[in-house]
Amino acid sequence: MKQQQPEEHIDAPPGIPHPERRPRRRRRRSDFLAGFGVREAQSLALALIQPKMEQQEEEDDAVQTRVTSLIDFDKFYFESYSHLGIHEEMIKDRVRTDAYKNAVEYHADSIRGKVVLDVGCGTGILAIFCAQAGAKRVYAVEASNIALQAKSVVTDNNLSNIIMVLHGRLEDVEINEKVDVIISEWMGYMLLYENMLGSVITARDRWLRPGGLILPSKATLYMTPFTHAKRYHEIIGFWNDVYGIDMSAMLPLAKQCAFEEPSVETITHENVLALPHEVKCVDCYSITIPELESVRNKFKFYSLAKAPLHGFAFWFDVDFNQPVSPKPVSFHLPGSSVDKDPVVSTIKNRRDPALLLSTAPERPSTHWKQTLIYFYNPIELEKNQLIEGRVTLSQSQDNARFLNINLAY
């Protein structure tokens, strides 16, 4: 496809860089996470330093509380995870939780009798899975106040002699020994939103023994063009006829309000217009923090059907094994070239489903769903039409938890 539009972007409020887009929120699109929208970026980016407070510790307490200086957006970020609803939604996501439980059980021989670090433990469920698998000791680190409930959960399950809940940022807690295993559910929308992977990298570099295990070990972000005429009409079509009144003059504003930010929705393989493209593969054993600051990738697709192109969809897979090469493709359409490629098919079939967590459109839905970037105006595609361009994902200079998206096609 030729450059029908040089950039897909919208004007941002004063002081907010553009062309950029940000996924609205992590997981639960509730009011208490509303601060992660574009409109709040200015206030969250003030980087005000909170005063340090005295740390109070009790040697016989399983929780180490550490109140450290936080910039405003981190303070808000951790406060949002103090709400129970977000943890309930994550645990109820059986695809997610079962994948982690299966991975812990699969790697039980590497966990039994070993020291484990859970980065961002939340309610403590992953730490408990590791304790049940025979871990000698588990350090469960959680910056939000849900750590207080996590401690009670650990006590109620008679695991206080194994699991130590450390209340504080991963970057600030003290662990006086090396660990054999790091486990974390760090993935955000579009994989990299929230920038929690940086904490996992910090934990790896500070405490992981050589040859230690990281769960998950690899993550891959994909993108593909999509069509979604029904959804587009639901959002926009209303204004064409309101009680017999022509309100089409509202359409430009309606499109801006609906599509100025990425949308987290569930699509199926029927919405997918091309085979997926790998945007970024993350090897958790070797990725560095500077690599996360900006991800640039060129893409090229050939449309599988004649249909309106409504935008681009993003999703990710995570693997709970050592990285493999060549990289397997996690999503394909029946009868596609993936099925006909014996090398790719062999790798794909060799992967143990228990060791893969996928948020792909053809897989059971998760709370991550897929992240969709809608065009304001659909583009009519012919079958086999070329779609090419580039995508850049970068951390916001105002708030490192935000993910800026620059899309040119």
**CA angle at residue 41 from 16 to 83, to 5 degrees?**
165
Report how many helices (DSSP H) and strands (DSSP E) the chain contains, helices first: 12, 15
407 with 320: CB under 8 angstroms? no
Closest CA to 393 of 373, 366, 367: 373
Tally of CB atoms within 10 A around 128: 23
Dihedral (Cα; 67, 71, 73, 77), 10-degree rounding = -20
Distance separating alpha carbons of residues 186 and 172, to the nearest angstrom = 18
150 with 140: CB under 8 angstroms? yes
Burial bucket for residue 349 (CB in 10 Å: 0-12, 13-18, 19+): exposed
Residue carrying structure tokens 């699991």: 163
Residue 102, CA distances (Å) to 105, 111, 114, 168, 339 in order? 5, 13, 18, 28, 27
185 a catalytic residue:
yes
**Set 8, 20, 142, 194: catalytic member:** 194
**Set 8, 20, 185, 261: catalytic member:** 185
Q: How far apart are the first and last CA of the chain?
A: 8
For residue 327, the 8-state DSSP code is P
Distance separating alpha carbons of residues 137 and 141, to the nearest angstrom = 13
Structure tokens at 334: 């029946």
Secondary structure (3-state) at 291: helix
What are the residue numbers of the active site? 185, 194
